[in-house]
Structure 1
């Protein structure tokens, strides 16, 4: 943790406990020791936190902002696997630490991010000795696995236009994203997504603007997404 005044340290302790109540069950002295050993990082939007084949040195806990974890392909495309929001940890980092492997995906700050990096040694100690933390980590494994299985099912069994419609419904009514962002989210390419969006606009379902899609007929779009 970065050194600072007692007020700064107290504010960080309060923020960590607010985002991760599981640490309230740690003795105060042990929590303070954990915070002292864990680097606090502030990274601007767009920063790459990790890449495939990079070693993993800690377990990041997101305090503010959002991190997008995706699988890049050699042709430049990527498939979004999941996002890490405040109050969550990066489960891929946990898997790398437990399996002693390198990263197999990319992590990018979608917004300005503040995170606390629990070092590998302290991560393993918490897994072994602190049941609430262990349960927190494995609950996240279960939730992320369910998300990935749902994504695989979507890609395998639903048409791209239906998946795009569903994505717009979920993120609407105003989706601030480029066509490339939406393509990355769906594991597709910009040209195909742009063509589908123009088709939606011609039907009167959406309005297209620069880096923005506005859903104007959510009922029809949702019915199309359901097939």
Structure 2
């Protein structure tokens, strides 16, 4: 475990903290489309993402979802941090975008490390700041962008997280993430293809204008 931690977090945490994480944390492997955290779950451990990508979603009273942000290697979820520190139930849903690995840290260690390790304190505060900015960006996207712009931003954001220009999602999966219909997504994707921004294949979208 230590080698994986060093590769993902060695540039963030001091070696003493890496050793402590390796001694008390547990590994959790996941597969694409696995539900990792559900709304209403009691959070008993905090995740550090070693490998893979995870999407964080919010649900309204009608059960409709909207994508808040993606997590990638070296990240943690600020919403989960809040639940851990406040001992409250999860307000988000976390779904694996790819196969990957998490390190799960017991919540009782979180407060202890805030005073014990400066790097941990900075990591927690930086994570809050990054996710807050991403959620503000999501609000701006909803408020100020038309659906064509939102969809292209969604595709390019996902490409950056996955490190590829090929998005292996069906139109229906994209529609779920963007809280709209498959027909609307298909129409806009065809429009983006005509603009030479993307190329459509069966269950695959290639981004050309990146």
Give the shorter-chain TM-score range: 0.7 to 0.9
Which of the numbers 101, 119, 133 marks the counterpart of 2:88? Answer: 101
1:64: how far off? 1.2
SS of equivalent to 2:3: helix
Question: Structure 2, unaligned stretches of length 5 or more?
Answer: none
Which of the numbers 184, 196, 199 marks the counterpart of 2:188? Answer: 196
Contact 2:85 2:107 in 1 (8 A): no
Which of the numbers 9, 13, 16 marks the counterpart of 1:26? Answer: 16
- The more displaced of 77-86 and 100-109 is 77-86
Match of 1:56 in 2: 43
SS of equivalent to 2:29: strand
* TM-score between the two structures when normalised by the length of structure 1: 0.79
Distance 1:108 1:87 in 2: 17
1:91: how far off? 1.6
Contact 1:77 1:189 in 2 (8 A): no
1:37: how far off? 2.0
Match of 2:127 in 1: 140
CA RMSD across the alignment: 2.3
> Quick check: 1:210 aligned with 2:202?
yes
Larger-gyration structure (1/2):
1
SS of equivalent to 1:188: coil
* TM-score between the two structures when normalised by the length of structure 2: 0.85
Question: Structure 1, unaligned stretches of length 5 or more?
Answer: 1-11, 223-227
Post-superposition Cα deviations, 1:31-84, rounded to whole Å, max 9, x if no partner, equal 544423212111222211111110000111111111111113455532111122
Distance 1:16 1:78 in 2: 32
